[in-house]
Chains A and B, each alone.
Chain A
Amino acid sequence: MNLISQMFTWLNNEILKMTWLSNLIQSFVENVFGLSLKERLGGSVHFFIYDTIKIFILLSVLIFLISYIQSYFPPERTKKILGNIKGIKGNILGALLGTITPFCSCSSIPIFIGFNAAGLPLGITFSFLISSPLVDLASLLILMSFFGAKIAIAYVVVGLILAVIGGTIIDRLHLEKYVEGYVREIKDVAVEVIEMTRSDRVSYSKQQVKDTVHKVWLYVLIGVGIGAAIHNWIPQSIIETVVGNNNPFAVLLATAVGIPMYADIFGTLPIAEALFQKGVGIGTVLSFMMAVTALSLPSIIMLSKVVKPKLLTIFVAIVATGIVIIGYLFNAFSFLFV
């Protein structure tokens, strides 16, 4: 048993947390730049180089693996699977499929229309739309790397619960009349999903890695830059006053700042990590990450093309409220996780 737990710790430290890389960059910063990590500049340079390399390694490996799995679940297939299930089971399955169906805010319109045309209840579609950007396999692994297994699993579980409850509420409110008229007129077309060969899947996954790196590299660098600034340049006292545990509005503020931001989990993590290391509550940090990934200005604008303002407002309000509640709960029970 002891051996197994040692092995697990080693794997987690060396592979997921990449302590070897941290040590390597440390000796690089100390010997090549002649900077000490104890000093501000050295600490920031280390944070910047180490986090950037770590995120790009994780991003490449994870996107490849995840894309390979996702290639089995195109949205057309998800639609078919969800079409046969009603009630809360549908919401749960919708939330779960959201984690493995490839998603970007640009495809939310066709997915929304397609699901609607297939006769899926609005609530199930929203369970899917909440969970899809919020939780996926990549976020589980990358959170493990940065925050450890407990927090990662908790994040995924509460993310799924938020998606199920959010969808269920939208279902109960019977908001179908607030879907844009033209959306309801589009007929369902079943399309046969062509099976890909293994080499097709590999080349698809490679392509996804390339596209993702191309799409997010700037966000990652900005995120790491902000993270490095928080880490070493913004005084602890300011961070504590603004988002620290003594400020009762910290979670609200983190959520409000996160919602309009458009970035994926890879760009958000360095900021979250730096805040966490500065002693900001885990609930506040998670609220920020969830707000950034689940809701963003571009995705809200996209959705506004298929639903009327009332439904859009209800959707944003439910998700935002859920994120705030999750934040306060995590802060209250943080002793279980940290």
Chain B
Amino acid sequence: MIIKVLGSGCSNCKKLEENTRKALEDLGIEATIEKITDFKKIMAYGVMKTPALVVDAKVKIMGRVPSSEEIKKYL
């Protein structure tokens, strides 16, 4: 599973990454988390509001930081 956190390094992006790691840990899933900070690449996903979460090339979350419980649904 490849997970990408999109965002230009704002505090919300870090929070999203943290929550995602926690969700992965709870579920016992191995995955790589990649951070995308270049906004041209972010735009390439059609995302206009960061942070965003991409799981296996599909955008799951845009413009908000969900709880780790909610993130589990998308993993």
Contact = CB atoms under 8 A, between A and B. Distances in A.
A238 interface: no
B66 A74 contact: no
Contact of B39 (A76, A110, A194): A110
Contact of B62 (A76, A113, A117, A211): A76
Contact of A75 (B44, B59, B63, B70): B63
A200 B70 contact: yes
B63 A189 contact: no
Contacts of A113: 39, 43, 48
10 contacts: A75-B48, A79-B48, A113-B43, A117-B43, A186-B43, A187-B44, A189-B46, A194-B61, A203-B67, A211-B12
Given A75-B63, A110-B50, A203 B70 contact: yes
B47 A110 contact: yes
Judged by DSSP, the binding face of B is: loop
Judged by DSSP, the binding face of A is: helix
A117 B46 CA distance: 10
Given A75-B48, A102-B49, A191-B62, A110 B70 contact: no
Interface string A206-223: 010001000000000000
Interface string B48-71: 111000000001111111110010
A192 interface: yes
A150 to B, nearest CB: 34
B65 A110 contact: no
B45 A114 contact: no
A189 B50 CA distance: 15
Contact of B63 (A102, A182, A186, A190): A102
Contact of B48 (A76, A200, A204): A76
Nearest to A79: B48
A72 to B, nearest CB: 12
Contacts of B66: 200, 203-204
Nearest to B63: A74
